Chain A
Amino acid sequence: MKRTLLVCVLFAVFSCQQRETAAPSAAAPAPAAKPFKAGLLTPGSINDGGWNAIAYEGLQRIKNELGAEVSNQETKTPPEMLDGFRSYGAKGFDIAFGHGFEYQEPAKQAAAEYPNTIFITSSGNTVTNNVSPMRFQIEESTYLLGVIAARESKTGKAGLVGGINLPSIDSSFVAFKAGAQSVNPKFEVKTIYTGNFDDVGAAKVATLSLINAGCDFIFHQANEAGRGVFQACTERKVRCFGSNKNQTDMAPDYVVASAVVDVPAAFVEMAKIVKEKRFKPGEQHFGFNNNIVRLEWNDKLKASISPQTIAEVDRLTNEIKAGTLKPPAGF
């Protein structure tokens, strides 16, 4: 509680200072070439090594690759989020990112007041003239993981371990199943949810149960608790897949491939679209087409996969890139 209070006070002081400095610069004559400005609001610390850290990494890449002026703030409550967005609008930022579903309402409010700034939320469905969500189509790669599992499985069964059944997790599972059943309609995909993203022990027990039930490929969406999944797969010598980033290191002898989402690259791409005035309101899709979502093989194990499967995955990859194949997302 004290900490939240401290953060609020610091934030208030900080944002006041920003407004003060913003006023004179607005009055000054505009320079010939106005620098591109990008702002980022995160719901947590940018040192968290996860969700917020990848957004900050994206912002740093916007600074380095696009020569942009960047700024970031940590905002936890809706009023803080709105203030953060307003500060970027008032200072004439070209693009302001709100890193999460929860930024939609504040973005909508601030966007009405500052029509020249484009507000982007990470996931969500709110769209106005200058508000749009980014959507990462991880199902494009989990569909292919399903194809690999169904073609390489000996038991005809694969298992999925999820933390909490959020829409983004559910959609990646739906696509996995669809991919597997496109190969063999009778292929069985079993799903277990553990109810949280922390309990590695539960994730391990869930994985062992799936292995006992005959699954010989495991895919997880349990974030940090995924360590329990890899531990169980290593112990029982069962092949598995990595999620969100390349997780080959977690079990080098058993992770066949990973469904990778390159969030920092998506931030750069989004900023580039806005900088080059190509922005159109609506869901901003990031997937195979712009190489944000990828399937990354574990080179060490690729030799153990049949050449036909690899060729099939390559063929499907091209179809997804070309837009002729659309993996289902379940919504």
Chain B
Amino acid sequence: MYELIANSIPIAIVASIPLLLAVEGELLVQRGGIINLGIEGMMLTAAMTAAFAAQTTGSVTIGFLGGIAGAMVITAIFGVFAIALRADQIVTGTAINLLALGGTSFVYREVAAFQRPIPQLHTDIVSALSWIVAPLILGAILWNTSFGLRLRACGENPEALAATGRSVRMHRWAALMIEALLVGIGGAYLSLALSSGFAENMTAGRGFIALSIVIFGRWKIKGALLGTAIFGLAAALQYALQAANRGIPFHILLAVPYVVTLLILCGVAGRVRSPESLGRP
């Protein structure tokens, strides 16, 4: 059993990277008062544009840049409706998901470049970036800068921020673009490092799991890291258990990561309080 766990840890660290980046991005925007339900669609779009950029140029770096660009474009669409036009965020996010799923599947079937070989990733700096650098920077931004204070004010009491003469919209746009940067890297990592290219609906619900980890992690960076780590480790461990063939039905093992994450996060942190103005346009 110890060997199984020891073997699963490195796998879990790598395999949860797209999820972790999504959780971190979503945490930031929700602190600023926006529920971005379209995170699944953003990641899927990023995965596709990253694969396309990498397969046409043969460069992993350009692939990652392509993923970031793709995520930013679709996030901008979300932003125009949710921030500029003050549309309902839940509806807009859902629409973004449907648009991304249909759009990427369509493009994938029509474009021949997706059949080309994909360049291999040799040095993996993304694991360090997502598990160490990004949480430290996000923590510093949120709690130690005046931008972070104002962003949190957008999430709690936007009228107060507006009263000081600052733009709530600009702060929310900034948070959205940071999220797009993180999710773009996550999507690119999914199609370039976890897979050898794009596949339809390859995000497979990661965006929604990210949303629930943000909530169960009580909108805290520590909670986000802990939730993702538990979920990732439980997922890797249940595959190791399937491989070890202990006679446990795989249907039950497949449910383990969800149950374990739920139980642990329910027990850990104290009182739940979401940002006061979350979801209000």
The residues of A with any CB-CB pair to B shorter than 8 Å are 47-49, 159, 165, 190-196, 198-202, 204-206, 208-210, 212-213, 215, 224-225, 227-228, 230-231, 234, 249-252
Contact = CB atoms under 8 A, between A and B. Distances in A.
A48 B243 CA distance: 33
Interface string B197-208: 101111011100
A209 B195 contact: no
Contacts of A47: 109-110
A193 B196 contact: no
Contact of B254 (A193, A200, A215, A249): A193
Contacts, number: 106
Interface in B176-212: 190-191, 193-197, 199-202, 204-206
24 contacts: A48-B109, A49-B108, A190-B242, A191-B245, A192-B243, A195-B250, A199-B202, A199-B204, A199-B205, A200-B191, A201-B15, A201-B18, A201-B194, A204-B195, A208-B239, A209-B11, A212-B243, A213-B244, A215-B243, A227-B197, A228-B194, A228-B196, A231-B195, A249-B115
A205 B236 contact: yes
Contacts of A224: 199-200, 202
Contacts of A210: 243
B194 A193 contact: no
Chain B: number of interface residues, binned into ranges: 35 or more
Given A49-B108, A195-B254, A215-B243, 13 more contacts: A159-B243, A190-B242, A190-B245, A205-B11, A206-B243, A208-B239, A224-B202, A227-B197, A227-B199, A228-B194, A231-B193, A249-B117, A251-B196
Contacts of A227: 195-197, 199
A201 B204 CA distance: 9
A108 B196 CA distance: 43
Nearest to B200: A224
Contacts of B190: 200-201
A250 B115 CA distance: 9
A209 B120 CA distance: 21
B235 interface: yes
Contacts of B109: 47-49
Nearest to A53: B109
A167 B236 CA distance: 26
Nearest to A226: B199
Contacts of B11: 205, 208-209, 212
Give chain B's interface secondary structure class: helix
Contacts of B243: 159, 190, 192, 206, 209-210, 212-213, 215
A154 B7 CA distance: 21
B138 interface: no
B243 to A, nearest CB: 4
B195 A192 contact: no
Interface string B251-264: 00010000000000
B194 A231 contact: yes
A212 B196 contact: no
Given A206-B239, A209-B239, A228 B195 contact: yes
B62 interface: no
Interface string B82-123: 000000000000000000000000001110000101001000
Contacts of B108: 49
B204 A196 contact: yes
B228 interface: no
A234 B120 contact: yes
Contacts of A208: 11, 239
B161 interface: no
A192 B204 contact: no
Nearest to A162: B250
Given A200-B195, A205-B11, A225-B199, A193 B250 contact: yes
A228 B191 CA distance: 9
A208 to B, nearest CB: 5
B120 A192 contact: no
Contacts of A202: 204, 235, 239
Q: Which of B15, B108, B110, B204 has the most CB of A within 10 A?
A: B204
